[in-house]
Amino acid sequence: MPLNYASVDKNASQYAQQAQDWLLECKKIAGQLNTLYDEAVSDPERLRQMIELVQESKSNLYLAKPLQEDPLRSYPAPTLPDNYTLLSADGSQIVPNRHRALQFGLINVGILTVSFGSGQPPEMKLVSELLDHKDIIDEDNNLASEDDIALLRDMRERTLIRDQITPQLTRPILTVTDGPLDIFYRSDIQDKKRAQTAQRQVYQLDQQLQQEGILSAGYIDKPGSSMLHSMLEIYKEVGVEPKQEADKRRISDRLLLGTRIKPGERSAVFEIISKQRNNPLNRLRVAFFYLNVSTVEDHPWLARVEIPYWISQQQELVGLIHAVLFADAQVLDSHPYPYSLHRAHELAVVKQAEYEEIENLLLAKFPEGSEITGYRSNKDFLKGLK
């Protein structure tokens, strides 16, 4: 039925006002935090010690810890090398839907391999995998959730990228995926065991890559995390007198950093301190920096780039990743985002028509009137009516 626009409209102005009030409040707090930031990172060593103290005592942590670079500075990108290889992977999935006639899951991963300096068009690879039945229904007959499938997908992205790397590729080699580097961040994973297995795999994969000298990064566009705010809270908690109340709002790192970082430049590298009850022993140690991919002064567009800890220890490697990702984001200049990731996404995306094709393909494998291909739920059927 058509919306009751009149009743919506009644609240619209009020809503707009609320949003603006909220933003002002956030900005105010961000301003305060900004000042606090200057104070807190003026002595990085002191801050590190505070964080290490808390690492012992608290059981749930998710914050940034400064490393050896000066957090007050904005770092320009070095020159791009003439020859290097960039591999990007992105995936999409079909999640089993209990309302459909058949439950199935699909992972679709696209990988783009670009040999810069060769002039050749990039190589494309697309892998489409129908998930095993055991992957979508667990022992308790629970249907896999979106996050479950996403986890599998994330894993496949990394393993497939790894498989694409051959000795023929020009070095240096950089791999990029969309999203955080570590996969253990999804909240709604049913199968905890699997999650832990996955995390171990990621760790091992990174070990391999480190041995081969292959760089990897995770690119997060419009990051919402507030690790720096959490860091400052520790600072306040441990260091500042008198004790202050916890802030009413969580301020994102983007907002907090404001215009500190010049166009094309990056922040200092930080380590992610993440602690939860069920962490495996060997877990990927992740560092990050914020990259301003905008080219316009006073209009920053900060993306977070996550890198393995070992890379953070070598400034020229960080610089390489910085330069490569910034350059890749400039290709699509009005909306900066790495071109290679976008293409990988384009490769991987599953259209509605394709979804239905797969469904029909599978349904065709069952004999007429099979019980497995139960009817669509009535609700879903009715939704489908035009």
Partner 1 sequence: MNEEQTSIPIGKLMRAENSQFVAGCRVRELETPALGALVKVTLEDQSQIYGLITNILINDDSLVRQLVSGVSIPTEYTADNRYNRNLPVEIHVLTVGYAQNGQISHRLPPRPPLSLDVLHLCNSNELCHFTSLNEQAYLRHILRLLDQPVEELLAAHLRQAKAAHEDASDPTWYPLACQKLITLLRDDYQRLTTVLDVLTELERE
Q: Which amino acid would we find at residue 258?
A: G
Q: Which of 9, 333, 356, 357 binds partner 1 (CB under 8 A)?
A: 333
Please tell me whether residue 335 binds partner 1 under the rule CB under 8 A.
yes
* Cα first-last separation, the chain: 12
Is there binding between residue 296 and partner 1 (CB under 8 A)?
Answer: no
The one segment of 97-105, 155-163, 197-205, 330-338 that binds partner 1 by CB under 8 A: 330-338
The distance of closest approach from Cβ of residue 176 to partner 1 in the complex, given in angstroms and rounded to an integer, is 15
User: Bridge partners of 291?
Assistant: 266, 303
Measured from the CB of residue 357, what is the shortest distance to partner 1 in angstroms? 12
In the complex, minimum distance from the CB of residue 333 to partner 1, in angstroms, rounded to a whole number = 4
Does the protein bind partner 1 through residue 343 (CB under 8 A)?
yes
Asked whether position 108 contacts partner 1 by CB under 8 A, the answer is no
For position 345 contacting partner 1 by CB under 8 A, the verdict is no
- From CA 93, how far away is CA 99, in angstroms rounded? 17
Stretch that binds partner 1, among 62-70, 178-186, 301-309, 323-331 (CB under 8 A): 323-331
Check binding of 118 to partner 1 (CB under 8 A).
yes
348 scored as a contact of partner 1 (CB under 8 A): no
Contact window for partner 1 (CB under 8 A) among 119-127, 135-143, 202-210, 363-371: 119-127
Of positions 12, 16, 24, 332, contacts partner 1 by CB under 8 A: 332
Return the residue of 342, 348, 359, 373 that touches partner 1, per CB under 8 A.
Answer: 342
Stretch that binds partner 1, among 43-51, 114-122, 138-146, 313-321 (CB under 8 A): 114-122
Residue that the structure tokens 């920053």 belong to = 300
- Whether the upstream peptide bond of residue 121 has omega within 30° of 0, thus cis, is no
Q: Specify the stretch interacting with partner 1 by CB under 8 A; choose among 117-125, 150-158, 236-244, 350-358.
A: 117-125
Out of 2, 119, 242, 384, the residue judged to bind partner 1 by CB under 8 A: 119
57 near partner 1 (CB under 8 A): no
Q: Residue type at 350?
A: V
According to the binding rule CB under 8 A, does residue 349 interact with partner 1?
no
Cα separation, 194 vs 192, whole angstroms: 5
Binding of partner 1 by 72 (CB under 8 A): no
Q: Could you list the residues that contact partner 1 (CB under 8 A)?
A: 114-116, 118-122, 124, 327, 330-335, 339, 342-343, 346
